[in-house]
Structure 1
Amino acid sequence: MKITHIRAVQPDAPGSPPDWRTWLGQILVRVDTDDGLTGYGVGGGGLAGIHVVETALRHLMVGQDAADVEGLWQQMYHDTLPYGQKGLALMAMSGVDLALWDLRGKRAGKPLAEVLGGQVGTRMPCYKTGWSPAEIETGRSEGFRAVKLQVGKLRAEEAITQVGRVRSLVGPDVRIMTDAFLGWDLDTALRAAEGFANYDVGWLEEPLPLDDLVGYERLASESPIPIAGGEHEYTAAAFEMWMQRGLHQVVQPDVCWCGGLTELVKIYRMAEAYNVQVCPHRGCEVWALHAIAALNADPLAESGRPWMTWVQGQPEIQQGDIQLGHAPGFGVTFDEQLWHST
């Protein structure tokens, strides 16, 4: 099954935020093969990511055997080393890798969850991410039994007060997590973690910049609640460093950025060895959901990007749960009109 063509496009997405998440955001990658199959994946990098896909990666991939997914990942990574390893090149590679996995599932005639050794049809719990107690309360009314509050723009004392308000709104039986989105220093994170512990917070996510490894070492050792992170990290090799050093108790790779499903599967295997929990970023989106269904003994999936309405067949969250269907591959389709200008 030889690759005949690789293309990428950034579909219009009403409601997509006017910031880097759109400018350098989601791209749809399409890989066609000589036996008539087409695989789709979502990566990142915006127009720059499209350029990487349609120049460097297309040059490498056309004519190759699409079945050699892991081997092609190694080739892509090696050939992009001078300018890759992290960032835009890995975001673009992620979309290609996911498209190859989609082809693998379609060739087998199975959903990727089954290809990975799991099953579909089981309801999995989700958590909703929100920016205010009111938004979190809405999530509770929608049936979510787990919620995450963004706190990175607040001072530690303000964040503790907000978390306390959320706990009073949702009651004792709803799981609460927090996300500081790289916005704090070590002292702020420690003060916040101490306060969050009083409200049974499940984790504090990305409180420090990624390059503050010394800060994460102290935080991981002194925080009374688990430290989570990884949505802005790339490759399984980098995640292993975080696990080896004990910097995170929960790792949160974004499959559309970290290198694709090939890397996410490696991260799951590593995490088992290091006794670390994996909870992929935006796990309700199909790109990570199949891995969660197959590889998570205790699954929990984060709500996805609401503006990604051009992904047809994406399972909906119902009363705080989500489940995969039986369509092969990732089980989603796309409007052919997207490709008329490429």
Structure 2
Amino acid sequence: MTAKISAASARLVDVPVETVRTDAKQAFLKQETILVQVDTDDGASGLGYSYTIGTGGTAVLAMLRDYLLPGLLGQDADAVEAVWRRTYDATRATAVGPITSLALAAIDTALWDRRSRVASLPLSIIAGGAKERVPVYDTEIGWLHLPIEDLAAGAKAAASGGARGVKIKVGKPSASEDAERLQAVRQAIGPDRDLMVDANQAFTLVEALRRTSALEAVDALWFEEPLPADDVAGHERLARQTSVAVAVGESMYSIGQFAEYLGRGAAGIAQPDVARIGGITPWLKVAHLAEAHNVEVCPHFLMEIHVSLCAAVPNSRYVEYIPQLRSVTRSELEVVDGFAVAPTTPGLGIDWDLDALDNLTVA
């Protein structure tokens, strides 16, 4: 017996940032959180979400309300793959692109939430069940505006608190200033913690190549988004000329983009974002595609859902620690000895505070 979708609704919730966050290209203004609830004729429901970091939330909401949600009615909620494909195919004029992918993600995560609840299984198990916990690295201490003393102190505190790695933003006008900051952080965390470096697409290929020596000097684990995301050839050339893994994914919106990077050896770390790739359904495909290329997965942001997805697949290496949902949830990500523990409750594993969501709803 199939369960038909009987209702689908969306809303936009503005979640304030927990701290000042800056990188080489932008500031994190607020988290525009798009929530979708899907109800089915068997009485079950699922709540999914997506996000932007300050702009475009109303565009995603309009895409859902005006085009995508009406098409869900009457579809089989258990046929998640079919629903995803039909919805995607209905948006050909705007795919591949962030507005469509972000809207799809809110729908798809809602369907997976429902699926997990109906099965009485946590997302980590129903999506694969590869492991129970995943190492954590801390990005919250590494923003570009922080003075070098604060960087080093924050990194030392994170490492002392159990974080297995820390990530530092680069993109200062002077390469020597970036190098000095990286050296200070490496000294603060010692040789046994991983140090990740993120440029947020700030460099040309020539400049990225010029700066790799500083990354190699501190034994950086990866060089994240060194170039614009559409410069596959540049990433390929960079990957061939440095011992530091090139990490990409947060600004990619389709499985095909990951396939091109992986097929050309242009990515040593895959970083799919469940919202930006279009949901759990395509996220898992990217993770398995990376596994086929012997590449590890370290997803971008959204630790509250990515912990379960990382626990679902065998080739995950890290969960990124950036707490952002504490004002709208009743519980936090559990971290034990530097490892994020996958929730064992049915559904996405996010304990939403519905009253707080109501208070922050803007549309």
Q: Give your verdict on TM over 0.5.
A: yes
SS in 2 for 1:306: coil
Contact 1:152–1:207 (CA under 8 A) maintained in structure 2: no
SS in 1 for 2:307: helix
**Displacement, 1:325?**
2.8
The TM-score normalised by the length of structure 1 is 0.92
Q: Residues 153 and 101 (structure 1 numbering): CA distance in 2 closer, same or farther, change over 3 Å? A: farther
Of 235, 238, 243 in structure 2, the residue corresponding to residue 216 of structure 1 is 235
Indicate yes or no: 2:98 matched with 1:84. Answer: no
Task: Name the amino acid aligned to 2:85.
Answer: Q
Contact 1:23–1:46 (CA under 8 A) maintained in structure 2: no
**Displacement, 1:90?**
0.7
Of 314, 323, 327 in structure 1, the residue corresponding to residue 341 of structure 2 is 323
Contact 2:60–2:100 (CA under 8 A) maintained in structure 1: yes
Contact 1:6–1:62 (CA under 8 A) maintained in structure 2: yes
**Displacement, 1:162?**
1.2
Of 94, 113, 138 in structure 2, the residue corresponding to residue 128 of structure 1 is 138
Task: Name the amino acid aligned to 1:211.
Answer: D
- For residues 30-82 of structure 1, what are the alpha-carbon distances to aligned partners after superposition, in whole Å with 9 as ceiling and x for unaligned? 11112221211121341111111112111211111111111111111111110
Task: Name the amino acid aligned to 1:72.
Answer: V
Q: Residues 20 and 27 (structure 1 numbering): CA distance in 2 closer, same or farther, change over 3 Å? A: farther
Counterparts of 1:85-100 in structure 2, within 5 Å, are 85-100=96-111
Equivalent residue, structure 2, for 1:162: 181
Q: Which runs of 5+ in 1 are unaligned?
A: none
**Displacement, 1:319?**
4.3
SS in 1 for 2:38: strand
How many Å separate the matches in 2 of 1:289 and 1:116?
12
Report the aligned-residue RMSD: 2.3
How many Å separate the matches in 2 of 1:26 and 1:61?
21
Task: Name the amino acid aligned to 2:347.
Answer: G
Q: Residues 283 and 11 (structure 1 numbering): CA distance in 2 closer, same or farther, change over 3 Å? A: closer
**Displacement, 1:139?**
1.6
Equivalent residue, structure 2, for 1:75: 86
Q: Which moved more, 1:196-205 or 1:147-156?
A: 147-156
**Displacement, 1:88?**
1.0
Equivalent residue, structure 2, for 1:40: 47
Indicate yes or no: 2:72 matched with 1:61. Answer: yes
Counterparts of 1:288-299 in structure 2, within 5 Å, are 288-297=306-315, 299=317
How many Å separate the matches in 1 of 2:29 and 2:314?
30
**Displacement, 1:86?**
1.3
How many Å separate the matches in 1 of 2:337 and 2:292?
33
Contact 2:14–2:32 (CA under 8 A) maintained in structure 1: no
Contact 1:153–1:183 (CA under 8 A) maintained in structure 2: no
How many Å separate the matches in 2 of 1:244 and 1:10?
37
How many Å separate the matches in 2 of 1:119 and 1:212?
33
Q: Which runs of 5+ in 2 are unaligned?
A: 144-150
How many Å separate the matches in 2 of 1:49 and 1:175?
36
**Displacement, 1:312?**
3.5
Counterparts of 1:152-301 in structure 2, within 5 Å, are 152-282=171-301, 284-286=303-305, 288-297=306-315, 299-301=317-319
Contact 1:31–1:38 (CA under 8 A) maintained in structure 2: yes
Contact 1:285–1:304 (CA under 8 A) maintained in structure 2: no
- For residues 262-314 of structure 1, what are the alpha-carbon distances to aligned partners after superposition, in whole Å with 9 as ceiling and x for unaligned? 0111011111222222111126222x221210203453111134255313344
Task: Name the amino acid aligned to 1:260.
Answer: G
Task: Name the amino acid aligned to 1:320.
Answer: G
Q: Which moved more, 1:254-263 or 1:214-223?
A: 214-223
Q: Residues 152 and 319 (structure 1 numbering): CA distance in 2 closer, same or farther, change over 3 Å? A: farther
Task: Name the amino acid aligned to 2:287.
Answer: Y
Contact 1:153–1:180 (CA under 8 A) maintained in structure 2: no
